[in-house]
Amino acid sequence: MFPRIKRAELLACAVAVLLVSATIERPGSEIENVKSTEHTNKLVNETSPYLLQHAHNPVDWYPWSMEALERAKREDKPIFLSIGYSACHWCHVMERESFENEAIAAIMNEHFVCIKVDREERPDLDEIYMNAVQMMTGSGGWPLNVFLTPDLKPFYGGTYFPPENGRGMPAFPRVLLSVAETYREKRQDVERSATNITEAITTALQGPAEAKTDLLDERIIERAANQLRGEFDTQWGGFSIAPKFPPSASISLLLRHHRRTGDAYALDMATTTLDRMAYGGMYDQLGGGFHRYAVDREWLVPHFEKMLYDNAQLAEVYIEAYQLTGKPLYLRIAGETLDYVLREMTDDTGGFHSAQDADSEGEEGKYYVWTLEEVNEILGSEDGALFSRYYGVTDEGNFEGRNILHVPRDPEECAEQTGVGLEELARRLDGMGRKLLAVRADRVPPGKDDKILADWNGLMISAFARGARVLDSKTYRTAAERAAAFVLGSMRTNGRLQHTYRSGSGTVDALLDDYAFLIMALLDLYEATFDVAWVEEATDLAEEMVRLFWDADGGGFYTTPAGKADVLVRSKGAYDSAVPSGNSVAVHALLRLARLTDKKEYSEKAEKTLQVFSSAMDRSPRAFVRLLGSLDFYLGPRQEVVVVGDSEDAATRRLLELVYRSYLPNTLVAQVDPAADAAVAKAIPLLSGKKLVDGKPAAYVCRGTVCYRPVTSVNQLREKLVQE
């Protein structure tokens, strides 16, 4: 995904060689680690938990601010930029080893203007400088450490650096002194390299120069499915050997592809992966919710942090798989994941927190693992034996002498082997799990990043709204409504939507992702509540999104608004990573909103955006799986279902439940009470003219440009829907 600009690469490599080979007579082993708590730096006034973790380092940290950038220019010092996040294990390691070390901090303070950034607060900066490091080194990750010229151009960087020589990496003190020397004595080389790297980043992040109109068809989706087929682990699911990250968007695309083509193997790839993840150690078998990723092929040993965005997307894709297959496991996993977020990740305001750490008491995973002795002591020998058999608990353990709970055999097999009926087994395991969960609650919990991010909250609102529909849960609906009301009401400063909120205020202006994800969430919330106010709010956000981010010349949306002096490159990308791109979600949201509001300009911008990225999708379809999902929606066939009837009426509910329980990814659903006033139809023209039929609740189905005769029974509606 990152273009290899030969000239930039060569110059970057040349600078890198200069840095690591410089003759510095101060090896890392001579730097004595002396931790101090007597220091306070400029991060102390920040709200980000990650930045506050570094507020008492001896490093003279600045937040990303004009004060820091102006100082670098005034003193002509290079910038040392360190980007991480609160749940990042190796970020904590580097802090302990280097940023708390007074001798290392002294080198940093003498030679650099040091800036700390929370990647979750400034994903725009993270995107730019992650691209730079990947171009320079071929890989990336966090902590992300980059050296910049005072005009913000990167010229050297990496990820984790050890305090002493080792692991094939130079000691961090040596890197610091080498960079400082190179910046002083080989300034012209540094400037030339930084300029060319910046040109390469700009090429990579600003997208194609022209839109293509002849590539938007299902063949791109077919090729993405074939690429996934080639990468698929047939035994354990997923699309790599190890480590394995949850491929939510890929699974969602495979489900769509199966619906479009009938490809049975696409469905098998999706369900095998969902089954293996649900039964593996990456899923918290007691408390619900998923850890960040598995370090092994079998999904057994996770990296134990829990991220809001993962759990939002996984809850949604398990719901989709349930709608398609009817498999109860998927509905259970979705519900348990949503319940986990309600229990552990929901703020008193109604917003959702960002992440839980991997570590507790200084050990990764300690909060989640068990010994056989602990299990038997809590449950007794008989129940302990049954629990241990089901969850793979042994005396030797599977993780540093302890046990990560997982399900190593099918529940049916365990029921047969133990002579306990499947329903009875589930009932007993539920009771045992509650006992262990109560004991776990008394342990020292992992740290939590309790900031509220607008984009990730948008993903979670969508998950709760869809859960409310499919599980018929008022609790989930209320959670979605509260979070949406909080973001729209409290995450604004001087009328401008904010990206992040903590300690009573927002601190960073919203980016494209915030707008796109929230618009999609509000449309999902409308389909769960049929409150027209959510569509009106989505329309207001869409107008603001277009005004701030739309590229009027080339099409597509920029990540940042125009005029930000502290951003090196104004990126415009659609690559889908762990979180979908803003352009991917904006396309889907605008297509939905266009049909509800009858505003053609929204669908035109969505189509233009697809055209802008069509060549990139055609070259590397696997890299745009969420955007391809939006393409699938664009290609259709799309349909709208309007149910007319009192929402409390049983017949009305039966019609809606059929739609809710069916896998209809390209269907919009709306509902209107026959007594609704004209303002409702004005806000949503799709509702205009829809009435009861012979006094009965009715469903109106439209597909493409054709609308069918309204139906009043579930069976009649089912016949209409299967034609999708």
- Exposed e or buried b per residue across 620-650, where buried means at least 16 C-beta atoms within 10 angstroms of its C-beta: ebbbbbbbbbbbbbbbeebbbbbbbbeeeee
User: Which of 12-16, 215-219, 444-448 is least confident?
Assistant: 12-16
- DSSP letter at 685 equals G
Nearest Cα neighbor of 187 from 158, 150, 134 is 150
Contact call for residues 120 and 449 (beta carbons, < 8 A): yes
Q: Which pLDDT score, from 0 to 100, does residue 37 have?
A: 55
Nearest Cα neighbor of 542 from 523, 529, 560 is 523
* 3-state SS class at 681: helix
Q: What is the mean pLDDT of residues 493-499?
A: 92
Q: Where are the alpha helices (DSSP H) in 31-88?
A: 49-53, 66-75
Q: How far is CA 278 from CA 284, 478, 578, in A?
A: 9, 26, 19
Q: How far is CA 433 from CA 429, 439, 485, in A?
A: 6, 10, 34
Going along the chain from its start, the domains and CATH numbers come out as 6-205 (3.40.30.10), 368-442 (1.10.10), 639-721 (3.40.30.10)
Please name the amino acid found at residue 332: R
With cut-offs at 50, 70 and 90, classify the pLDDT of residue 27: very low
Please name the amino acid found at residue 263: D
Instruction: Provide the terminal-to-terminal Cα distance of the chain, rounded to the nearest Å.
Output: 34
Cα–Cα distance measured from residue 85 to residue 162, given in angstroms and rounded to the nearest whole number: 18
Cα–Cα distance measured from residue 184 to residue 470, given in angstroms and rounded to the nearest whole number: 63
Could you tell me what percent of the chain has a pLDDT over 70? 93
Cα–Cα distance measured from residue 25 to residue 44, given in angstroms and rounded to the nearest whole number: 35
With vertex at residue 630, the alpha carbon angle to CA 624 and CA 632, rounded to the nearest 5 degrees, is 100
Q: Which pLDDT score, from 0 to 100, does residue 15 have?
A: 52
Q: How far is CA 274 from CA 317, 353, 464, in A?
A: 9, 25, 19
Q: What is the mean pLDDT of residues 465-470?
A: 98
Q: Which pLDDT score, from 0 to 100, does residue 213 have?
A: 67
Please name the amino acid found at residue 161: F
Asked if residue 426 has pLDDT above 80, the reply is yes
Cα–Cα distance measured from residue 671 to residue 656, given in angstroms and rounded to the nearest whole number: 8
Please name the amino acid found at residue 636: G
With cut-offs at 50, 70 and 90, classify the pLDDT of residue 2: very low
Contact call for residues 85 and 120 (beta carbons, < 8 A): yes
Q: Which pLDDT score, from 0 to 100, does residue 17 have?
A: 42
Nearest Cα neighbor of 405 from 371, 444, 439, 449 is 371
Asked if residue 22 has pLDDT above 90, the reply is no
Q: What's the chain's average pLDDT? A: 92
From the number of C-beta atoms within 10 Å of its C-beta (0-12, 13-18, 19+), residue 479 rates as: buried
Q: Is the peptide bond before 143 cis (omega within 30 degrees of 0)?
A: yes
Asked if residue 166 has pLDDT above 90, the reply is no
With cut-offs at 50, 70 and 90, classify the pLDDT of residue 209: low
Q: Which pLDDT score, from 0 to 100, does residue 170 have?
A: 86
Asked if residue 29 has pLDDT above 80, the reply is no
Contact call for residues 477 and 531 (beta carbons, < 8 A): no
- C-alpha 673, offset from chain centre: 36
* 3-state SS class at 595: helix
From the number of C-beta atoms within 10 Å of its C-beta (0-12, 13-18, 19+), residue 416 rates as: middle
Q: Which pLDDT score, from 0 to 100, does residue 20 have?
A: 47
Q: Which two tokens stand for residue 406?
A: 């997982």
Asked if residue 566 has pLDDT above 80, the reply is yes
Cα–Cα distance measured from residue 128 to residue 227, given in angstroms and rounded to the nearest whole number: 27
What pLDDT, in 10s, does the model give residues 73-102?
999 999 999 999 988 888 999 999 999 999
Could you list the beta-strand ranges (E) of 424-524. Answer: 448-449, 452-453, 492-493, 496-502, 505-509
Asked if residue 24 has pLDDT above 50, the reply is no
DSSP 197-245: HHHHHHHHHS--SS--SS--SHHHHHHHHHHHHHH--TTT-SSSSSSB-
Q: Which pLDDT score, from 0 to 100, does residue 53 have?
A: 94
Asked if residue 146 has pLDDT above 50, the reply is yes
- Exposed e or buried b per residue across 558-574, where buried means at least 16 C-beta atoms within 10 angstroms of its C-beta: bbbbeeeeebbbbbbbb
Q: Which pLDDT score, from 0 to 100, does residue 28 have?
A: 37
With cut-offs at 50, 70 and 90, classify the pLDDT of residue 675: confident
Q: What is the mean pLDDT of residues 529-554?
A: 96
Q: What is the mean pLDDT of residues 436-454?
A: 96
Cα–Cα distance measured from residue 337 to residue 588, given in angstroms and rounded to the nearest whole number: 25
Q: What is the mean pLDDT of residues 473-497?
A: 96
User: Which of 14-23, 151-160, 162-171, 710-719 is least confident?
Assistant: 14-23
Cα–Cα distance measured from residue 217 to residue 618, given in angstroms and rounded to the nearest whole number: 10
Q: Which pLDDT score, from 0 to 100, does residue 177 have?
A: 96
What pLDDT, in 10s, does the model give residues 594-625?
999 999 999 999 999 999 999 999 999 999 99
User: Which of 23-32, 44-53, 706-715 is least confident?
Assistant: 23-32
What pLDDT, in 10s, does the model give residues 374-423?
999 999 999 999 999 999 999 999 999 999 999 999 999 998 888 889 99
What pLDDT, in 10s, does the model give residues 278-292?
999 999 999 999 999
Q: Which two tokens stand for residue 206?
A: 């600003």
Please name the amino acid found at residue 393: V
Cα–Cα distance measured from residue 489 to residue 495, given in angstroms and rounded to the nearest whole number: 10
Record the pTM.
0.93
What pLDDT, in 10s, does the model give residues 680-699?
888 899 998 899 999 999 99
Measured from the Cβ of residue 709, the count of other Cβ atoms closer than 10 Å reads 10
Asked if residue 672 has pLDDT above 90, the reply is yes
